[in-house]
Structure 1
Amino acid sequence: MKTAVVILNWNTKDYLRKFLPGLIASTEGLDAEVIVADSASTDGSLEALSREFPEIRQIPLDRNYGFTGGYNRALAQVEADYFVLINSDVEVTPDWLKPLVSWMDSHPKCGACGPKLLSWRERDKFEYAGAAGGLLDRYGYPFCRGRAMQTVEKDEGQYDSPADVFWISGACLMVRSRLWKRLGGLDDRFFAHMEEIDLCWRIQLAGYKVTVIPESAVYHIGGGTLPNESPVKLKLNFRNNLLLLENNLAKTFRAQGYSVEGALGKARRRILVRMLLDGASACTYLVTKKRASYKAVVKAHFEYWKLRRKPSPDEVASQQKEVTIHGWYPGWMVPRALSGRKIKFT
């Protein structure tokens, strides 16, 4: 099989009913299969699937392993050239899949790609989670072409050419299956949030590109599992941001020509700065009486220290040199975005 389009569902029965028909129709006539993996939902999702979409293959999991563990376990049971990870709250357009497959077929050094992500609620705007491809600044703050902080642009065709970016949103992400397996899939420690950024970073460090294909477009609701204001989501974002920096920074500096010792030292200093910035965020939450958010940041750092796994000198030494990391913004985007200044995308 060429393409497996896999939804990881957890208690989103209504989204499946709403968006599965269009997804199924979009794969007709293609060498593709739609699969639903379920993280032990309790809302009757599997029963509804069996009754209303009996043709859809199901992969039931025994519990909720999160986005990372769920997809790792589900995709271990799937054979295809390309895996597409797609959220249940995504509405696809009729021809969304063909441009992605065509690009991967004709660009063997592209390890992952994805569509332009538009807002389901405001259809002329980009969607917060991925917009027109993701980038990362020097301290690990993610943003997108079309979205910086809370400012989201209208889609006026300004990003309608394919572009190599840092990351593609896990809301709709196509990955070469052999590369997925070689890299070990998603990092289980993340559970959810920023795991796709970590994967895309590792894909680039392996010498492959990550590309957004705007000819393909989908509409994303967002917040289907955790609402944006959730302290749990905030904790996961702060914690996983530190984990992804530790996973990849030293190897990135090594790829740029630093010695092993130099790369490890530079990564440690950069992560320390990020931790201090997180501390400033926590203090701001406390001063503004957002105690739940303050506690989420503190808990994120405690969990990071428990989960962290420092790269060894041998791991860093094995990193191939002269790898180009696309979508790496050399500055700190936060003050620039807050001041309203335009960020130039390269």
Structure 2
Amino acid sequence: MLIFRQKIIPLELSIIIVNYNVKFFLEQCLFSVLKASADIRSEIIVIDNNSTDGSREYLSEKFPSVQFEWLEVNSGFAKACNRALKKAIGEIILFLNPDTIVAEDCFLKSISFIRSKKDCGALGVRMLDGSGKFLKESKRGLPTPSASFFRLSGITFLLPESKYYSAYYAGHLSEHDINEIDVVAGAFLMVPKAVLEKTGGFDEDFFMYGEDVDLSYRITRAGFKNYYYPQTTILHFKGESTLKSLQYIQRFYAAMHLFLKKHYTSFWKKAVMNLAIGFGRTVAKIRLISMPPNNKQSGLPEAAAIIATQDNFSNLVHLVKHAKPLVAIQGRVAIEFDEEENAIGVIDDLPLLKDKGIHHFIFSEGSLSFKEIIMNVDRFAGKCNFMFHAKGSISIVGSDDSDSRGFFISPAATVKS
């Protein structure tokens, strides 16, 4: 009897996502990831850090192709990522936050770029928050003593395009141009596995925050280059997975201290860094305490219009009627002019509709692609507020800014998320 050894075809991409109590945002994320990985030999690994919002019951049966692992303790982002990394078999690894939405061609374009650059150690992409605002951490410099002091003291925000004073955010580099950068944000961090085999994964001493800075630094020290690649754009709600609180402040600045201790040996550099970190921590606490209560969390809108075809509009109206909390639907916004019948306007009219009292708009994926949705969020940034629904999901999510926790509506919203 002849026994033929089965040829194992390696995967091109392993997508690693760490979840903690953001099941509705992760639902939207996974629908976009499945679309983006449809033509790629890939795997999706989700590590849940002991969520208490019903993530397991809500997500496990909905996404049978996803490899879920449900931990019984929250051991931090770095440990969870490394746990997934040990089982990942893709030639390229993508660490992706759960509160992101990616375009259908995002992975293909990013992988193609990495393969075109033999010296590529890591790749990051252009990121927008839920309101369409460009996230400066899409491209970052190292937290050197001077860069950290200028950023934490607020000088960076007074001179946002300065190469020196805004070095922390690489302010001199255009958000629209491909460039080499020092630090790739962990929200979307794509790395060839061969690079990680040389550098190792995340430093598990970083519980949350700072681990991406540390890994990016080690990648460049190993002789590779990190790239900012704005030829694809993603949405990163950010405020949902990094809710600003006193605990956030403590963890963020503890991570800065850890990076300082690990990578700086000069006495004067440590002194300047300690001064900047201490000053920044104090300012952050004052800002948090003085922030009005209704600004600490995005308020769920009382009403919204839906951007959709007629069929998808009817389905979404039905979902909203059975969802919690209740949101009144103000009408349908058509995609094209020839679909205007029974619509309150077309997508080009969003700013005008806002002037008429419609402040929130729900994008219906299925009526528009994820890529088209992201392009329109970018197009109307600062002019409108948005919510998002992926075809097949039973939730709608949104966030009006990157500093506040996002909001959601769903028939399954019986447990706080």
TM-score above 0.5, yes or no: yes
CA gap of 1:234–1:50, structure 2 versus 1, over 3 A, is same
Q: Which residue of 236, 247, 252 maps to 2:251? A: 236
Encode CA deviations 1:192-231: one digit per residue, 9 max, x unaligned.
Answer: 0111011101111111001011112101101223412x11
Q: Mind listing any 5+ residue stretches in structure 2 that lack a counterpart?
A: 1-10, 162-172, 291-417
Change (3 A) 1:288 1:237: closer
**Matching residue of 1:113:** 123
Where do 1:5-84 residues align within 5 Å?
5-84=15-94
What SS does the corresponding residue of 2:276 show, helix, strand or coil? helix
Could you tell me which of 119, 127, 134 is aligned with 2:135? 127
- Asked if structure 2 preserves the Cα contact closer than 8 Å seen for 1:242 and 1:271, the reply is no
Partner of 2:267: 268
Residue aligned with 1:6, SS? strand
In the TM superposition, 1:1-346 aligns within 5 A as 1-121=11-131, 123=132, 125-128=133-136, 130-131=137-138, 133-139=139-145, 141=148, 148-149=156-157, 158-228=174-244, 230-249=245-264, 264=265, 267-281=266-280
From the superposition, tell whether residues 163 and 35 of structure 1 become closer, same or farther in structure 2 (CA, over 3 Å). same
Contact 1:119–1:127 (8 Å) recurs in 2 = yes
User: Which whole-Å CA distance do the structure 1 matches of 2:22 and 2:285 have between them?
Assistant: 34
Structure 1, unpaired ranges of 5+:
250-263, 292-346
Displacement of 1:248 in angstroms is 2.5
Q: Secondary structure of 2:39's partner?
A: coil
CA–CA distance in 2 between the matches of 1:152 and 1:24?
A: 36
User: Could you tell me whether the CA contact under 8 Å between 1:168 and 1:212 is conserved in 2?
Assistant: yes
Distance in 2, matches of 1:162 and 1:119, equals: 20
Change (3 A) 1:150 1:82: farther
* Alpha-carbon distance, 1:76 to partner: 1.0
Alignment-mate amino acid for residue 192 of structure 1: M
- CA positional deviation for 1:289: 10
Give the whole-Å Cα distance in 2 for the aligned partners of 1:218 and 1:84. Answer: 14
Normalised by the length of structure 1, the TM-score is 0.69
Q: Distance in 2 between matches of 1:158 and 1:269?
A: 32
Aligned length: 265
**What's the secondary structure of 1:207's corresponding residue?**
coil
Contact map agreement 2:45 2:84 (CA 8 A) in 1 = no
- The RMSD of aligned alpha carbons is 2.9
- Secondary structure of the 1:234 match is helix
Q: Return 75-84 or 31-40, whichever deviates more.
A: 31-40
Report the secondary structure of 2:110's partner residue: helix
Percent identity, aligned pairs only?
27
Which residue identity does 1:189 align to in structure 2?
D
Question: CA–CA distance in 1 between the matches of 2:212 and 2:118?
Answer: 20
Distance, in Å, in 1 between the alignment partners of 2:288 and 2:65 is 51
Q: Which amino acid aligns with 1:41?
A: S
Distance in 2 (CA, whole Å) between partners of 1:112 and 1:289 is: 33
Residue 258 of structure 2 aligns to which amino acid in structure 1? Answer: L
Would you say the 8 A contact 1:202–1:248 is kept in 2? no
Measure, in 2, the Cα distance between the counterparts of 1:282 and 1:221.
23
2:160 and 2:235 map into 1 onto residues whose CA distance is 14
When normalised by structure 2's length, the TM-score is: 0.58
Separation in structure 2 between the aligned mates of residue 13 and residue 177 of structure 1, nearest angstrom: 28
